[in-house]
Chain A
């Protein structure tokens, strides 16, 4: 009896669930999902750019990422454009744009659009959270269809993540990219790949075509937005940006572990203790279980970044930070971007044995011969462009250098302090110290000893005090930059955004060259304060690192009251600053 009651009860629930006369729930859900998708796409398309070369013959796609008009696209899209391009947006307007920075190996370019300070821009997602099967959509200008600048949308799923694609031609290497079956065709290059919520997860740039001809075959790749985030500071520097190398190669051993097969003795990984046959456990925060894993992770970091590396030897794990060297020399990079980049199949040519994955051309002319149209640069572009060897657009380097120095000067206010600078106080281990910095050199008095360094000896003959890596020279250069400014310091340029130990946010880095010495000044982008100075007396040696912390207001100046000095793996000393005169 009890059972019968339950059955009746349950049948009752079931009939009410199924017996409603409105839209069946599944259809309603589909309609709602469709409406949501349309809304997402309508919003997303606002930030999408159709890139055209000045002559209007070539081009591709792009996406605006800041309200003041910085936009991402592919390097191979802007390459035929030269330094200026026209950008159509969904508002129906055509904007002038200028090249800012390029990453030829990663096939990314940063451009800046002019004409608005409230550009609609795409919100970047965390692309490491993207999974195979996730819905995604691409927007752009395939086959250059967007004559009214309304982007084409193609919908698909994520087919794979963390994909590695071998270099095509001479330079392009797609690492850690997102594979999608959303249709990507010639002209889509440089355009955005969005997740289902309309957040930017990557920049579309490459497809597997092989023998099927130059149209989509269900396989395309996007550079992950997380990789681009790492390169953003470097791209803003106006440079031709380089990728990184560890200085060591790895191979699997018989047990399937990833071990160091070869290592350069002058690389930072070697100085941090990595040796032949060590097992690489993790790199850049990711576990490494195949040599390809390492290659993949390496590709997402720009040259010069310090990245965590963990390796194991005799069962013991070592966790270190390594500075990554550049993949190319400056000359190599310059000569390579001039080289023929896009192998183009000739009409009627039979596909070769294994065609490299061909980067999508702009969708315009089939010939990839560099077209340098004799079209005058628009005035607004002219104002924002400056040619310099090694740079895509030196104007933006100066712009950022000025921004960083201005913020620093505002809070430290030391530009007029041309006399001797003194810093005095206690060493954290006990004992008084006193630094004196002048135009002619630097001096350190310790209870037991006294060290001097005289200007003119920058070449590194005497890196006083011993074991510091050249602390006196580093402090001398600090004062020099504050007093003389970028023009008289020697050569000062904006290097990009770099991670700093113990901080979440990246630092703005200025590179100062003086008397053959390379010195990096790391600044907090939020308030302009100087976080650290890293002085490299020679190229293949550890720098002297000076970390400034515990800033305090003193006579209207915000100054550090703690100075930590490191060299290599060792702490040289911690100086508490009790008194200073400027």
Chain B
């Protein structure tokens, strides 16, 4: 019987410590898988799980644990400050720390169009953040700050939830939290998990995957990049950019499931989808490709980071023949992230003039991929 008491004590201690309930759940599955091997261990875990189950459902009903959950996970959410501050574009958004050494998951937006991105932690620590990479197809970006032992979400532990699940949304909406304040938290319920693609032409969004639609007003200015979690603090999604229904002018409150983003985050951390020339030094070819060789004329490069919009195309040029159009925004060149006119020109220097290149461009809310190749005698 001593075992029983020991485990009761352990469970109580765990409650007092307010350790992540996610931890307990993992123990549960570990316990069941062990059943065959060691019956007594399994019995211990069974009892443990039973107690945890009753304890946690009780505390949920009482609503007492939300403050404790928040205490634990609010430090994982950061405030991000960057470009903007004109024409109704707020110069801030939200993000979540996804590694102990300072990787931050956020949305890929105009706020990141600057060399001075600042990430402010819940405890007020400020860091200069670097845009490590982005996946323009999903509108997600990963920032990096130089820090260690940070509290963070483990993307591998994110859960999928069903409609009806009660959630908390943590974000720096309206930029309310400043300095050493934790981000704001809102509560709500997942109304439905559905695809944004079904609403094509209604919502002007690059992201076309499934989303969690929420019944709370979560997607306010500055909220994008914030964390959607369950009532027990398990990561569920990332709050998306503001989206307004073009037909009825209502705003959509939604989050992107972490499962949709994980691959991109891993790719960025593995060095793909990163901004050009960030990795190992490469050899420049003897003769590089240049934009004018393809017939592409960009908008004047007047800003610190001018978004590489196509201004016009020389008629009959390789770019024109490939179907590039004025006002296209160049996002990727051969899988490399292009964040400005300057970066695009630099990236071109590493491409041999005869190589075929693939451009990913944004055209009126749609992503378009084009293959281009220069030919010395190709113009008509």
Same complex for A and B? Answer yes
Interface size bracket, A side = 35 or more
Does the CB pair B67–A132 fall under 8 Å?
Answer: yes
Does the CB pair A351–B173 fall under 8 Å?
Answer: no
Does the CB pair B70–A132 fall under 8 Å?
Answer: yes
Does the CB pair A33–B63 fall under 8 Å?
Answer: yes
Is A169 interfacial (CB-CB < 8 Å)? no
A254-279 residues with Cβ-Cβ distance < 8 A to B are: none
Docked complex Cα distance between A163 and B67 (Å): 17
Is B376 interfacial (CB-CB < 8 Å)? no
Docked complex Cα distance between A7 and B86 (Å): 67
**Which single residue of chain A is at the shortest CB-CB distance from B242?**
A211
Is A164 interfacial (CB-CB < 8 Å)? yes
B189-236 residues with Cβ-Cβ distance < 8 A to A are: 216-218, 220-221
A residues near B66, Cβ cutoff 8 Å? 133-135, 157
Is B93 interfacial (CB-CB < 8 Å)? no
**Which single residue of chain A is at the shortest CB-CB distance from B35?**
A7
**Which single residue of chain A is at the shortest CB-CB distance from B88?**
A353
Q: Given A133-B70, A218-B218, A219-B220 in contact, is the A181-B187 Cβ separation under 8 Å?
A: yes
Q: Given A133-B69, A208-B176, A211-B221 in contact, is the A159-B39 Cβ separation under 8 Å?
A: no
Does the CB pair B58–A29 fall under 8 Å?
Answer: yes
**Which single residue of chain B is at the shortest CB-CB distance from A130?**
B67
A residues near B88, Cβ cutoff 8 Å? 211, 351, 353
- Give the interface centre of A4, A26, A159 by most chain B CB atoms within 10 Å: A159
Docked complex Cα distance between A156 and B216 (Å): 10
Does the CB pair A196–B180 fall under 8 Å?
Answer: no
B residues near A210, Cβ cutoff 8 Å? 174, 220-221
A residues near B185, Cβ cutoff 8 Å? 132-133, 157, 159-160, 181
Does the CB pair A30–B180 fall under 8 Å?
Answer: no
Docked complex Cα distance between A29 and B63 (Å): 11
A residues near B3, Cβ cutoff 8 Å? 6
Give the Cβ gap from B252 to chain A, nearest Cβ, in Å.
12
Does the CB pair B39–A3 fall under 8 Å?
Answer: yes
Does the CB pair B62–A14 fall under 8 Å?
Answer: no
Does the CB pair B179–A7 fall under 8 Å?
Answer: no
**Which single residue of chain B is at the shortest CB-CB distance from A32?**
B61
Is B124 interfacial (CB-CB < 8 Å)? yes
**Which single residue of chain B is at the shortest CB-CB distance from A18?**
B50
Is B182 interfacial (CB-CB < 8 Å)? yes
Q: Given A29-B61, A179-B176 in contact, is the A219-B67 Cβ separation under 8 Å?
A: no
B27-50 residues with Cβ-Cβ distance < 8 A to A are: 39-40, 43, 46-47, 50
Work out how many contacts link A and B, with CB atoms closer than 8 A. Answer: 124
Q: Given A25-B54, A33-B63 in contact, is the A217-B220 Cβ separation under 8 Å?
A: yes
B residues near A4, Cβ cutoff 8 Å? 39
Is B114 interfacial (CB-CB < 8 Å)? no
Q: Given A10-B47, A292-B178 in contact, is the A30-B61 Cβ separation under 8 Å?
A: yes
**Which single residue of chain A is at the shortest CB-CB distance from B216?**
A218
B residues near A504, Cβ cutoff 8 Å? none
Docked complex Cα distance between A578 and B174 (Å): 66
Q: Which of A14, A25, A156, A164 contacts B178 (CB 8 A)?
A: A164
Does the CB pair A10–B43 fall under 8 Å?
Answer: yes
Is A212 interfacial (CB-CB < 8 Å)? yes
Is A289 interfacial (CB-CB < 8 Å)? yes
Does the CB pair B46–A159 fall under 8 Å?
Answer: no
Does the CB pair A179–B184 fall under 8 Å?
Answer: yes
Give the Cβ gap from B104 to chain A, nearest Cβ, in Å.
21
Docked complex Cα distance between A210 and B175 (Å): 12
Docked complex Cα distance between A216 and B90 (Å): 19
Does the CB pair B67–A131 fall under 8 Å?
Answer: yes
Is B87 interfacial (CB-CB < 8 Å)? yes
Is B186 interfacial (CB-CB < 8 Å)? yes
**Which single residue of chain B is at the shortest CB-CB distance from A28?**
B61
Does the CB pair A157–B181 fall under 8 Å?
Answer: no
Is B297 interfacial (CB-CB < 8 Å)? no
Does the CB pair B217–A216 fall under 8 Å?
Answer: yes
Docked complex Cα distance between A329 and B46 (Å): 70
Give the Cβ gap from B272 to chain A, nearest Cβ, in Å.
36
Interface 0/1 of A210-249, CB less than 8 Å to B: 1110001111000000000000000000000000000000
B residues near A152, Cβ cutoff 8 Å? none
**Which single residue of chain A is at the shortest CB-CB distance from B250?**
A212
B51-86 residues with Cβ-Cβ distance < 8 A to A are: 54, 57-58, 61-63, 66-71, 74, 86
**Which single residue of chain B is at the shortest CB-CB distance from A4?**
B39
Give the Cβ gap from A282 to chain B, nearest Cβ, in Å.
14
Does the CB pair A156–B187 fall under 8 Å?
Answer: yes
B residues near A7, Cβ cutoff 8 Å? 39-40, 43
Does the CB pair B67–A160 fall under 8 Å?
Answer: no
Does the CB pair A14–B181 fall under 8 Å?
Answer: no
Q: Given A10-B47, A17-B50, A219-B184 in contact, is the A292-B179 Cβ separation under 8 Å?
A: yes
Interface pairs (6), CB distance under 8 Å: A10-B43, A17-B50, A156-B186, A181-B186, A219-B176, A219-B217
Q: Which 4 A-B pairs have the closest CB atoms?
A: A218-B217, A133-B66, A29-B61, A133-B67
Q: A196-B63, A218-B218 are in contact. List 20 more A-B contacts (CB 8 A).
A: A6-B3, A10-B47, A25-B58, A32-B61, A131-B70, A133-B66, A133-B68, A133-B168, A133-B185, A135-B66, A157-B186, A159-B185, A160-B181, A160-B183, A208-B176, A210-B220, A211-B221, A212-B217, A290-B180, A293-B179
